[in-house]
Amino acid sequence: MPGKDREEESGRYTTSYPDSDFIDAIQTLDGMAGTSEIAETVGCTRRTAYTRLQSLESEGQVTSRKVGNSLLWSVSD
């Protein structure tokens, strides 16, 4: 599976995208970017990026704001 690694012992898939990849992508994209732009920069699917960004938002590491039909993500201060 692209973007996933399989643990030898359990056989479970684990993500190969650390949280820092998403934060770095936002910073690379001038500090604010849409989900699709972040996904493209990280090299993952839009769905994966959206799920991870929501998780990072719940942890207070990133914030989002709705602009039209899109979410713009930025790194929390």
Q: Tell me: the pLDDT tens digits for 41-57?
A: 999 999 999 999 999 99
CA angle 75, 70, 4 (to 5 degrees): 65
Rounded to whole angstroms, the Cα distance separating 57 from 34 reads: 14
Q: Do residues 49 and 42 lie in contact, with contact meaning Cβ atoms separated by under 8 Å?
A: yes
In a domain, 12, yes or no: yes
pTM, two decimal places: 0.79
Please compute the mean of the pLDDT values over residues 1-28 and round it to a whole number: 74
Whichever domain contains 24, its CATH number is 1.10.10
| Domains held by the chain: number | 1
**Can you read off the two tokens belonging to residue 42?**
């990280």
Pairing status of strand 13-15 against strand 4-6:
antiparallel
In a domain, 39, yes or no: yes
pLDDT tens figures, 55-74: 999 999 999 999 999 999 99
Q: By residue range, what is the domain housing residue 51?
A: 4-62
Rounded (to 5) percent helix, strand, coil in the chain: 40, 25, 35
